[in-house]
């Protein structure tokens, strides 16, 4: 990108064009004026030749010489009388003064009177040359004055025209110094400068949003690391204590069996927690977008849940068209989490209803149970990381956070419904 001075380029270009226009106008005026003076002089010569030709004789014509001299025309009766007819020029007779020749600064015309006398008429173009020189001098003075005034006006006009650019530079500088809320706010956006100012505000707004998102992401990352460290510390400490007891004391059964079971339990808990953390981290990558039949995933999950909990009544009600674009593994994880949470919440003999339907360009998957339900003030909080309403139940509070994040990545949402009995969650995904 060339970064030369825009003001200099505008001024130089404008003055160059002004100079060219002035030069063209002066040249045209001078040439026209010169042609007019030359034409007038030729007309006077032709008129003088016609007047003398009508006299018919040299004696009579000589009486006209003083008057013609006052008009700047010299008459020379230098030729002798001719007794023979006068030869006509090629092409037939011509009007008096029709043939005018230029000899340096003189214009001459030759005529032959009726008595055979040759007459030469001449006029000097020196006066016309002086008039042209005077006109040219005046024109140059006027052009110089016009250029001076034009230069001053161009400087002022350029400063006024480029003032919005100075405002943009000043605003950008202030924003860079920390005034992030400052904007240009153009009064019109249908002009070049208006579009530039609007694009500048849009760019600054996008940068501000990116900065805020980065700060929020950094804060969330710090909070996540702190929470993850806290959650990992408990199973690791328990696992370490059990292993140290086994190695140091070498207890006999059944204490040894209890400690080994605790090691296995804490190891499994730690593995699930690490798997959930890795799953949460993978959500930062862009999911694979392919057509997914959500009802097929739901049927597989319901069948698996029914085999694991035969005493729980699980129903599935799915529509004809439940195809969405998304990541099959990620969406299966969302539905599995909802079904597993429902299984963990209800008592033996409970009821779980899974319903899928297509509505207004969205596919809704609803998982409801008849368990104790979720308090109204906790329905938003449960989607936060490491939030568990019942600390006595297994889990780490990451399942719903991951599920909500997956829904948002698919341009949908996951909500906890307001129901009178039990708990109900609805996953809403766009079909396109």
Give the per-residue pLDDT at 281.
63
What is d(CA 313, CA 352) in angstroms, rounded to the nearest whole number? 6
pLDDT tens digits along 206-252 = 888 888 878 877 776 776 677 667 667 767 887 888 888 888 888 88
- Bridge partners of 25? none
Flag whether pLDDT at 87 surpasses 60: no
Tokens describing residue 359: 């509505």
Q: Are strands 362-369 and 100-103 parallel, antiparallel or unpaired?
A: unpaired
Q: Is this model's pTM higher than 0.85 or not?
A: no
DSSP assignments along 284-329, one per residue: TSPPP-EEEEHHHHHHHHHHHHHHH-TTSEEEEEE-S--EEEE-HH
The per-residue pLDDT for range 305-319, each reduced to its tens digit, is 998 888 889 999 987
Is 60 exceeded by the pLDDT of residue 98? Answer: no
Contact residues for 32 (Cβ-Cβ < 8 A; gap 6+): none
Q: Is the pLDDT of residue 370 over 70?
A: yes
At residue 83, the pLDDT reads 39
Q: Across all residues in the chain, what is the average pLDDT?
A: 81
Mean pLDDT (whole number) for 96-109: 74
Per-residue pLDDT, 80? 45
Residues 6 or more apart in contact with residue 425 via CB below 8 angstroms = 338, 341, 366, 367, 368, 414, 415, 416, 417
Q: Is the pLDDT of residue 395 over 70?
A: no
Domains of the chain and CATH, by start: 6-84+96-158 (no CATH), 180-282 (1.10.287.130), 287-430 (3.30.565.10)
The pLDDT, as a whole number, for residue 97 is 47
pLDDT of residue 282: 63
269-283: burial string, b at 16+ Cβ within 10 Å, e else:
bbebbeebbebbeeb
What's the pLDDT score for residue 91? Answer: 46
Phi–psi pair at 364, nearest 5 degrees: -110, 130
The label of the residue with tokens 């600064």 reads 105
Compare 19 and 393 and report the one with higher pLDDT. 19
Are the C-beta atoms of 62 and 12 separated by less than 8 Å?
A: no
- Phi, psi (5° rounding) for residue 308? -80, -30
Per-residue tokens: 137: 């001098």
d(CA 22, CA 24): 5
Calculate Rg over the CA atoms of the chain.
Answer: 52
Cβ neighbours around 410 below 10 Å, total: 23
DSSP strand pairing (313-318 vs 351-359): parallel
Nearest-angstrom CA–CA distance, 402 and 272:
13
* Residue 1: predicted pLDDT: 57
**Whether the predicted pLDDT of 5 surpasses 80:** no
């Amino acid at each position: 990108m060339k970064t030369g001075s825009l003001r200099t380029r505008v001024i130089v270009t404008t003055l160059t064009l002004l100079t060219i226009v002035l030069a063209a106008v002066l040249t045209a005026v001078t040439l026209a004026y010169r042609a007019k003076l030359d034409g007038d002089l030729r007309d006077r010569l032709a008129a003088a030749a016609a007047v003398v030709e009508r006299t018919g004789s040299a004696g009579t014509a000589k009486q006209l010489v003083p008057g013609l001299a006052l008009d700047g025309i010299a008459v020379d009766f230098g030729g002798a009388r001719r007794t023979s007819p006068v030869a006509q020029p090629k092409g037939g007779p011509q009007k008096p003064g029709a043939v005018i020749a230029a000899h340096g600064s003189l214009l001459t015309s030759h005529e032959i009177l009726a008595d055979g006398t040759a007459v030469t008429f001449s006029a000097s173009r020196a006066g016309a040359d002086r008039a042209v020189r005077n006109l040219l001098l005046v024109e140059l003075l006027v052009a110089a004055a016009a250029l001076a005034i034009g230069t001053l006006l161009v400087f002022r006009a350029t400063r006024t025209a480029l003032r919005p650019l100075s405002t943009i530079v000043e605003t950008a500088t202030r924003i860079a110094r920390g005034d992030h809320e400052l904007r240009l706010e153009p009064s019109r956006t249908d002009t070049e400068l208006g579009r530039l100012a609007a694009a500048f505000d849009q760019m600054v707004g996008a940068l501000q949003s990116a900065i805020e998102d980065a700060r929020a992401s950094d804060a969330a990352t710090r909070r996540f690391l702190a929470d993850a460290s806290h959650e990992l510390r408990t199973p690791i400490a328990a696992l370490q204590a059990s292993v140290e007891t086994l190695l140091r004391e070498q207890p006999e059964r059944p204490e040894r069996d209890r400690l080994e079971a605790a090691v296995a339990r804490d190891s499994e808990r730690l593995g699930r927690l690490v798997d959930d953390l890795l799953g949460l981290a993978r959500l930062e990558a862009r999911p694979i977008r392919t057509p997914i039949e959500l009802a097929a995933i739901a049927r597989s999950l319901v069948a698996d849940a029914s085999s694991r909990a035969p005493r729980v009544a699980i129903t599935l009600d799915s529509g004809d068209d439940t195809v969405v674009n998304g990541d099959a593994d990620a969406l299966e994880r969302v539905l599995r989490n909802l079904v597993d949470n429902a299984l963990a919440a209800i008592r033996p003999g409970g009821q779980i209803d899974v319903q899928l339907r297509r509505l207004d360009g969205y596919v809704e998957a609803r998982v409801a149970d008849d368990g104790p339900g979720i308090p109204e003030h906790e329905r938003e909080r449960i989607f936060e990381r490491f939030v568990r309403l019942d600390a006595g139940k297994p889990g780490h509070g990451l399942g719903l956070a991951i599920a909500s994040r997956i829904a948002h990545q698919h341009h949908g949402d996951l909500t906890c419904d307001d129901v009178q009995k039990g708990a109900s969650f609805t996953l809403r995904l766009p079909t396109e």
